[in-house]
Amino acid sequence: MDQSIKKKYNYWQWKTLIVLMIGYALFYFVRKNFSIVMPALESELGLSKAKLGLFLTLNGVIYGVSRFVNGFFADRMSRKKMMAAGLFLSAVVNILIGLSPQMDGLFNLLDAEGKATTGLVVLIGSLWLINGYTQGMGYPPCGSLMAHWIKPSELATKQSIWNSSHSIGAGLVSVLCGTLILQKFSYSAWQWCFFIPAILAIAGSVMLLLTLKDTPASVGLPDPESMDENAPSKADVQVEDPSFTEKVYRRLVSKMVFRNPVIWILAITNFCVYVIRFTILDWGSTFLTQDRGLTIQAASTVVAASELAGGIVGTLIAGWATDRFFKSRSQRTCLIGLLGATLCFLLFWLTPKGMNGLAVTCIIMASFFVYMPQALIGIACSNQATKRVAASANGLAGIFGYASTTVSGLMFGYLAEHFGWNSVFEVAIVFGVIGVILFAFIWNAPSDGYSKAEPIIEEVRGEIAAK
């Protein structure tokens, strides 16, 4: 290969990866800030825990639907424009939420004591549901762009690097909002926790538009598969995509996504993985306080450590191990990760109360392991469906993942209130076992679906040529 082409390709690949990391981290700035300011919304506006919990659950469901819908759009339109639009619209929603108390002059949003009326509850809730949809415009373009820019044999390693943007964004916005809450402003501090992240997100949307390129061909480079000496298949290699017509897309979506049993197993296991992930992320501070007797500060620190250990360390190790030891078969690392998470959660449940050191270690290790499949399922979907319909496959897996909030949110809230935390732990462990069994069924699946996609594409090309 021409060294100048290789150098140019590496430059654009890493540039794309870094820009996507920054962009997706900023999506978390205008998403996870809501969880941080919930105590302030409760104390200052009088919003109940039930209403706030409902906002989170519905937001998660809408987000999953959005990822599913936008997955199909991302395979057929400019991915950088979709991602930039989603980030910008999320910023607008955040600004409107921050300004909502100032709208009391136009609408009856606050009562005589300055607490939220039903009108303000509906307004903030509706805006946060809209944010769930606009947030779903972030992941599909990322998954598709990485499938277009990164060699299949390196996708697990490099997309895992990108996946750390989840934890980086969540961690930085926690620090930012924590700092803002300590300051004194003309508006309430919680409002600035929406304003400042929104301003940063708007700047990020401009960055995405100016720096990203949708395909290597747009800068005169060949597709990454043509430069991948380790790829099991060299199918679907071309600098341009003249045959990527509506007919090709529909045929591939039908056969490589909806009629692909591997994709369906990955989607269902994503549901199981997210049940355990959200049990720790959404309920960790609560059950560590109520069930294990930790202080709120200590419990929050444990959850933060879990996010860092899992979201960054676990993710990076998972990607490296997949390409290094399993020849890019992500499903094998996923099985090991979910098995480890389930066993750690089981050990946490069995740990006697009072042995908080062991209990905390188990929670952190459960997060470490659960982020392995959390990061790799999307990579497996991209490789199995191929880059042409990678976003569509990830959209299907995404709707299953965030549908899990019906279990981790509403069901677990009900179980904890009426039957105690042990019932929550038991159900979470059952879902972990189901996911491990399902991963075992695809242990021997190939690392990608390019060889399967080639005859499908050639069949459509033949039909087009025959007309």
pLDDT at 16: 94
Q: Which domains does the chain have, with CATH numbers?
A: 3-219 (1.20.1250.20), 251-454 (1.20.1250.20)
155-178 pLDDT, tens digit per residue, is 888 888 998 898 888 778 877 887
Distance CA 387, CA 119 (A): 45
| One-character DSSP codes across 384-395 | HH-GGGHHHHHH
Phi/psi of residue 106, nearest 5 degrees? -90, -35
- Dig out the tokens for 391 from the structure: 């976003």
Please state, as a whole number, how many other Cβ atoms lie within 10 Å of the Cβ of residue 178.
11
Q: Is the dihedral of CA 320, 325, 273, 66 positive or negative?
A: positive
SS3 track for 258-315 = HCCHHHHHHHHHHHHHHHHHHHHHHHHHHHHHHCCCCCHHHHHHHHHHHHHHHHHHHH
Phi/psi region, residue 220 (left: phi>0; alpha: psi -120 to 50; beta: rest), is left
Residue with tokens 């009856």: 108
In this structure, the chain runs to a length of: 467
Distance CA 415, CA 421 (A): 7
Distance CA 156, CA 231 (A): 13
348-378 pLDDT, tens digit per residue, is 999 998 899 999 999 999 999 999 999 899 8
pLDDT at 236: 45
Helix (H) or strand (E) holding 202: helix 189-211
pLDDT at 44: 80
Is-contact 455 251, C-beta < 8 A?
no
* pTM for the full predicted model: 0.77
Ranges of residues in the chain with a pLDDT under 70 are 1, 49, 104-114, 116, 183-187, 227-245, 296-297, 467
226-241 pLDDT, tens digit per residue, is 766 655 444 444 434 4
Is-contact 102 439, C-beta < 8 A?
no
CA distances to 4, 67, 448, 459 from 454, in Å: 29, 27, 12, 9
* Alpha helices, H only, 326-449: 330-350, 356-385, 390-403, 405, 412-419, 421-441
Q: Is the dihedral of CA 157, 137, 257, 236 positive or negative?
A: negative
The partner residues of 254 in beta bridges, in order of sequence, read none
Distance CA 46, CA 234 (A): 59
